[in-house]
Amino acid sequence: MKVAIYSRGNGGEGLKDELEELVSRLISNNIQVLLHFSLKEFIKPQHTVVQFFSGHKELNNSVDFLISIGGDGTILDTVTLVRNKNIPILGINYGRLGFLASISKNEIGVAVDALVNRRYVIDKRSLIHLDADIELFGDAPFGINEFSIHKRDISPMIKINTYLNGEFLNTYWCDGLILATPTGSTGYNMSCGGPIVFPEAGSLVITPVAPHNLNVRPIVVPDSYIISFEVESRSDEFICAIDARREIVQTGVQLAVKKENFSINLVRLNENNFLSTLHTKLTWGLDKRN
């Protein structure tokens, strides 16, 4: 078995200790370790069997799992590393909320045992893909959470004409618009009043950010639709974002979003399902009045 490990490397000494524990446990189970170059300084010199990688081109079908150490933002990075290679991602939560990186940093031993003994569940998560009449986001115009359009900081609200399969849906006068996947429904979408959608649902959520018209509400549409946008603004530019990446775009650029033709595999331990995540992360069912 071969396991790759990625982290943003900003966890300090705590990350160093946990990374050392993880690598030691993997090696003791005769698992090959492929470590991202950004973590080289965190590994003791005696781990000479550890190999290193720097980008997605160095990951291939020989890698059985990719372990992400960090928060949900680190998981978003790993999506651009894994791409369409079907490498399952296991997230160890070193961040705060951890909807995607759901395994506690205190459960490293449990996580390694689960991989070794095949006691885990693979969840398939759909992605979205952006097409535009100019190149945007390089060779990774896809995301697992959301695509969003925003006004520039100094700009007044923008006007976003939105179409479903070429048919006019609505014109949004707003600060921005979010198009979220079911996975992303618990992120930026939820904080802007959008609905939570189960990961298995074949749908997308369109949620306006600070709409000018109060009768405008989030809407759920099938993920088989192509959603296209035309942006008008008093400014010459607006912001496009996919997950944690963003680009400055000129008004007049044509944008269209559809479901990506590949999905991402997330590893979870058997007891961690979506409902338990909602209960834990959002404290649903917990009476905090006392």
Among residues 17, 64, 72, 175, which one is catalytic?
72
Q: What are phi and psi of 23, to 5 degrees?
A: -60, -45
Tens of pLDDT, residues 66-88:
999 988 999 999 999 999 999 99
Q: What is the pLDDT of residue 204?
A: 98
* Class of domain 128-259 as given by CATH: mainly beta
pLDDT of 258 reads 98
* Gap between the terminal Cα atoms of the chain: 49
Residue 289 predicted with pLDDT over 80: no
- Please report which helix (H) or strand (E) contains residue 227, including its range: strand 227-232
Give kind and range of the element (H or E) at residue 46.
none
With H, G, I as helix, E, B as strand and everything else as coil, classify residue 232: strand
Q: Answer yes or no: 72 catalytic.
A: yes
Q: How far apart are CA 271 and CA 110, in angstroms?
A: 12
User: pLDDT over 70 for what percent of the chain?
Assistant: 96
Q: What are phi and psi of 245, to 5 degrees?
A: -110, 145
The residues spanned by each domain of the chain are 2-125+263-282, 128-259
Q: List Cβ neighbours of 217 (8 Å cut-off, separation of 6 or more).
A: none
- The band of 14, judged by pLDDT with boundaries at 50, 70 and 90, is low
pLDDT at position 174 is 96
Report the pLDDT value the prediction gives residue 13, as an integer from 0 to 100: 60
pLDDT at 129 over 90: yes
What kind and span of H or E run contains 26?
A: helix 12-28
Q: How far is CA 196 from CA 180, 183, 186, 201, 206, in A?
A: 10, 9, 6, 11, 12
Query: Tell me, what's the pLDDT at 272?
Result: 74
Q: Give the HSE-up count for residue 75: Cα atoms under 13 Å, Cβ half-sphere.
A: 27
Q: pLDDT tens, 195-231?
A: 999 999 999 999 999 999 889 999 999 999 999 999 9
Report, as an integer, the average pLDDT of 1-10: 89
CB 128 within 8 A of CB 258: yes
Q: What would the pLDDT profile of 132-142 be if each residue is shown by its tens digit? A: 999 999 999 99
155 pLDDT more than 80: no
SS3 30: coil
- pLDDT reported for residue 290: 60
What's the pLDDT at 50?
85
pLDDT for the residue 274: 86
17-49 residue pLDDT tens: 888 889 999 999 999 999 998 888 877 655 567
Q: CA quadruple 207, 182, 274, 72: dihedral positive or negative?
A: negative
pLDDT value of position 10? 67
Give pLDDT, residue 283.
Answer: 84
Are 115 and 28 in contact by the 8 Å Cβ rule? The answer is no
pLDDT in tens, 98-123: 788 878 888 899 999 999 999 999 99
- What pTM value is reported for the model? 0.92
- CA–CA dist 97, 138 (Å, integer): 29
pLDDT reported for residue 12: 57
Q: Which CATH class is domain 2-125+263-282?
A: alpha beta
d(CA 162, CA 171): 6
pLDDT of residue 269: 85
